[in-house]
Amino acid sequence: MATTDIFEKLKKLQTILVKKYDLEKKIEEAPKQLGSQEELLARMKKEYIEKSTEYDSVKSEVLKLKLELEEAEKSRESGEKGMDNIQTHREYEALEKQIKDATEKENEVRREMQKQEKLLEDIKETLKINEDMISAQENDLSASKDSLNKELESYNKELNSLKRSEDKITPDLDQEILFKFQRIIQRNSEGIVAVKNGVCTGCHMILPAQFANTVREGENINFCPYCSRILFYEETDEEEVYDFSFDQAGSLADLADDDPDSEGLDEEEREERLYDDDEIESEEDEGLDEEEEDEEGADDEEESSDDEED
Ligand SMILES: [Zn+2]
């Protein structure tokens, strides 16, 4: 498959994968929406249990007071009955004290009972309110779960259709490239980007000139050495302006045309190259005299015989 076709497929796949990963993230995070509602419900239930425990303990306190009251009543009544049969002043005094103590106890227990019964009523009221709140919260949560399920259902439907589109493209692609491509998109949301004026538009780094040229030739799939994205070359208007300026510079532009390696180099580097070329030329111009040429030839022979020995 031509590189340009691969690029086209990767671009199409990129659109699909970006949507797919976005959906997968939404599906993963959707249940978290219920987190605060579930927390609130759990807190309400915990409070309800604590209140119920309190209710039980007050209720048993009230029962205990009832028994104490009955005892005090019995004691008072038996004292009152005894009054009918007293024979001595001493017996009278003892019974009078019994009745007085029992009556005091009765009053004290009644007061305490009233207090506890009032408390019991208050707790009962709170429990009723809590029950209603819990039930409302449970309804809310259940409604949220329903809408969440609908949301998830539509996400999954979309996801499946994206996966079908993905499956139409992926079998044509090199599996190793595909794997790298998917990883980059998961991290950066863009896995294939243009190179413009020798700059990777994914990470905005200036690419090595030689490498930018390789990308421009477009014979292979190349990855940005800085951000790992797949690169394709895109000519720009700016690039034309850039070239034009070198046309003005004359010989420099000519050199750039002849020597693709020098493209993308800055002025200083170009001049250095120019200077190096001149030096080689001047050495050639001077030429070697015949003697030297002979010697060189002899050296060559020696070298080649050395090679044979090896
Ligand atoms: Zn890059």
Residue 195 above 90 pLDDT?
Answer: yes
pLDDT band at residue 22 using 50, 70 and 90 as cut-offs = very high
Q: What radius of gyration do the chain's Cα atoms show? A: 48
Rounded CA gap, 92 and 143, in Å? 75
Residue 184 Cα to ligand 1 middle (Å): 11
Of 170, 176, 144, which Cα lies nearest the Cα of 20? 170
Q: Please report the pLDDT score of residue 188 as a whole number.
A: 80
Q: Residue 186 gets which letter from DSSP?
A: H
Residue 259 in this model has a pLDDT that exceeds 90: no
Higher pLDDT: 272 or 47? It is 47
The CATH architecture one would assign to domain 3-167 is Orthogonal Bundle (1.10)
- Averaged pLDDT, 38-52: 96
Considering the chain, what is the average pLDDT of its residues?
82
Contacts 24+ apart (CB under 8 A), 28-37: 30/148, 30/151, 30/152, 30/155, 31/148, 33/144, 33/148, 34/141, 34/144, 34/145, 34/148, 37/137, 37/140, 37/141, 37/144
Please calculate the CA angle 188-194-196 and round it to the nearest 5 degrees: 130
CA of 192 to the centre of ligand 1 (A): 10
Q: Give the lowest-confidence range in 93-107, 111-125, 223-237, 280-294.
A: 280-294
pLDDT class of 235 with cuts at 50, 70, 90:
confident
SS3 190: coil
φ/ψ of 245, rounded to 5, equals -60, -30
Domain layout of the chain by residue ranges: 3-167, 179-298
For the stretch 127-177, pLDDT in tens is: 999 999 999 999 999 999 999 999 999 999 999 999 999 999 999 899 999
Please give the distance, rounded to the nearest whole angstrom, from the Cα atom of residue 185 to the centre of ligand 1: 13
Confidence of residue 236 (pLDDT cuts 50, 70, 90): confident
Distance between CA 167 and CA 248 in Å, rounded? Answer: 51
Q: What's residue 231's pLDDT?
A: 96
Sign of the Cα pseudo-torsion (2, 6, 11, 12, in order): positive
What percent of the chain is predicted at pLDDT more than 90? 71
At 1, the pLDDT band (50, 70, 90 cuts) reads: confident
Nearest to 220 by CA among 177, 278, 277: 177
| 17 alpha carbon – ligand 1 mean position (Å) | 19
Alpha carbons 144 and 201: distance in angstroms, whole number: 43
Q: Edge-to-edge strand order for the sheet containing 222-223?
A: 199-200, 192-196, 230-233, 222-223
pLDDT of 27: 95
Q: How far is the CA of 7 from the centre of ligand 1 (A)?
A: 16
Determine the length of the chain. 310
CA distance 160 to 27: 13
pLDDT score for 238? 55
How many Å lie between the centroid of ligand 1 and the Cα of residue 204? 6
pLDDT beyond 90 at 285: no
For 229, how many CA atoms within 13 A lie in the half-sphere containing its CB? 27
Q: Find the 268 Cα to ligand 1 centroid distance in Å.
A: 25
Q: What is the pLDDT of residue 310?
A: 42
Q: Is the pLDDT of residue 296 over 60?
A: no
Taking the centre of ligand 1 as the mean of its atom positions, its distance from the CA of residue 233, in whole angstroms, is 13
Q: Which of 23-27, 157-161, 222-226, 285-289 has the lowest mean pLDDT?
A: 285-289
With a cut of 90, say whether residue 286 has pLDDT above it.
Answer: no
Question: How many angstroms does the Cα of residue 250 sit away from the middle of ligand 1?
Answer: 32
According to DSSP, residue 200 is labeled E
Distance 231 CA to ligand 1 centre (A): 8
Under 8 Å between Cβ of 224 and 193: yes
Evaluate if residue 252 carries a pLDDT over 60. Answer: no
CA of 228 to the centre of ligand 1 (A): 6
Write out pLDDT tens, residues 25-44. 999 999 898 999 999 999 99
Residue 280 pLDDT > 60: no
